[in-house]
Structure 1
């Protein structure tokens, strides 16, 4: 039995811990013993506690919107991970599996001990600030292997050897709870978006869309607690609309997809670029058309007029036109829904886990 030590900074319900949960569940079925080191609190990785072949170590960590506090907390955790990692100094054959570029303390310790260090690279650091670019530069030095999630993301890495592309997938458990029904979805006239409470994710634009399209229902699911959502609404002076319902962090998102008609991703490419777009894949697995940005890994999944549309968030009027177009023409809606399901079928959880297992064993 092989030992894998996995490090993930923040255990929440965002995309990277959801993918990590699938990967670890797949690895546990392949004669591996896993130690998982992550933050405490409520998140997607908590479900793994029930498996006897995984041992979970938790530390206290919370993200802060204050950049100074956020940096102090981050650096403190990296120091903790660095020293924690040396408990594996005399464990030959242990592999360090680093999820996202953030747990750099563990990666550095791993290389100093001569361990194999594999990064699962979810971000596009080169579309972010200097801090993320620095972390990506360190990753290229420390990583034995790097797993990218899209061709777009891979194109920024100036490294030839030891770089692999494995697209994300969504868990079979979610797929079993999705019930694609284009006829019902078309009649629901409901627009859905799931994301985090960051300005560049398009929360304000989504509210503007709800104002501009009062005949449709809008649902917004944010990976945040209600207190912070209320504060965000107050600071940005956002209106409370009758056709808009905002939800805090959810453990089960299937009901939202099952009553939606169309799903949006409104990430502003000038501030962040989606390296994959897990919510778009979840939506297409529910047979829902999507509107996504024009660049990034998320754009690789979408063909205009086949399973959705690619539109820049700055082109507000075009988004309004496309939503009206999709939700008013049944023949078009059926075509997009059929294309969405066909696209989703190409992203398989078992295939993703098998690919990653193979990379780790090489």
Structure 2
């Protein structure tokens, strides 16, 4: 049985390492030998609990984008050199996201099979994206895409590809199955968004929507961010936050927030960042939480208009605020959307995810 060696650039609490953790857990259940190479220091993230041997390589992010690019380039050179030790190994290189190209290049040089798990399409600057696609074309033997949208948007000729939809962990599935959608928890209509602290994720739009509805005392907003307290303070240093908004940083357990949520917002700005799946959307659906999401990309494979929620561009903050006010006044609509949301989530089961992942390795 071949050893599976996984590669990821940065361990944090975002979607791609969360999905990779599930892949590693799936192969561990089947008895595969696995290792994980992850860049960065000892910061916590989903991959910290991965059931495999973990090894680190250099990577550091900076405020200056040019320093970050230099750090990234150096990290991949270091990774490439580290991997030359596998020249006689019977292994598979599993590259999570397009970014760890050093692993793919090492696999090509050593004659080791490379599998890419592709999560993203919005990579900047454009020359970097073109280079990373070129590496995939030269090094990959199979590509896994997280949605049909992404498979079409980032197709590669002459490389076998398949779509494996993301799923959610079993503990979250169980919590969602036992959850009773509250509509208004504690007599508060709760609007939730969970994302990384990036402007292109619609963080500023979420604040504006909260401000537009600040006059309605029984509507509250929770913004759960994958960032430290200092990063949050820096980001909002020049912003006056409305009183109805609570910001939660570096949250390891989001289940309590889904349990209180009346509606989930996903506000990624398509002109800057297209969501290729939307893991937080699926998580919310599993708790029966209606969602308002962008009308492009992977989210449209999760949410249909006026069924599990609504499709509204994040730039239309007034329209989103009006829709929230409508839902707040119409609980029967919320309950109808909630029922459809829970049904839709069943199509993305962890059992399907794990069987699809194992099929990839059984075929090599």
TM-score by length of 1: 0.94
Once the two structures are superposed, what CA deviation does each residue of 1:146-198 show, in whole Å capped at 9, x if it has no partner? 00011110112142541111111111122223453234547430101011111
Q: Is the 8 A contact 1:2 1:31 kept in 2?
A: no
> Is the counterpart of residue 85 in structure 1 residue 87 in structure 2?
no
Selected match of 1:103 from 100, 103, 114: 100
Determine the structure 1 residue equivalent to 2:20: 20
Change beyond 3 A, Cα 1:134–1:65 = same
Q: 1:358 aligned to 2:359?
A: yes
Structure 1 residue 128: deviation in Å? 7.0
2:202 pairs with 1:205: no
- Tell me the matched-pair count: 355
Shift of 1:357: 1.4
- 2:157 maps to 1:155: no
SS at match of 1:240: coil
Give ranges in structure 1 of 5+ residues lacking alignment: none
Query: Are residues 1:47 and 2:46 paired?
Result: no
Structure 1 position 125, deviation (Å): 4.5
Aligned with 2:236 (options 215, 233, 252): 233
**CA-to-aligned-CA distance 1:42-99 (integer Å, 9 cap, x gap):** 0101112xx4xx211023433333211110110111011101111111113x100000
Distance apart, 1:315 and its partner CA: 1.4
Match of 1:141 among 129, 138, 143: 138
Separation (CA, whole Å) in 1 of partners of 2:361 and 2:132? 22
- Structure 2 distance, partners of 1:308, 1:300, is 12
- Give the match for residue 222 of structure 1: 225
1:6 is matched with 6
Q: How far 1:312 moved relative to its partner?
A: 0.5
Superposed CA RMSD in Å reads 1.6
1:279 is aligned to 280
Aligned to 1:317: 318
**Contact preservation (8 Å) 2:104, 2:135:** no
Task: Please list every run of 5 or more consecutive structure 2 residues that lacks an aligned counterpart in the other structure.
Answer: none
SS at the partner of 2:347? coil
Asked whether 1:121 is paired with 2:118, we answer yes
Query: Residue 298 of structure 2 corresponds to which residue in structure 1?
Result: 297
Where 2:10 maps in the other structure, the secondary structure is coil
Q: CA deviation at 1:140?
A: 2.3
State the Cα deviation string for residues 92-120 of structure 1 (Å, max 9, x = none). Answer: 3x100000000000100001111110000
1-structure distance, mates of 2:287, 2:254: 11
Give 1:127 shift.
8.6
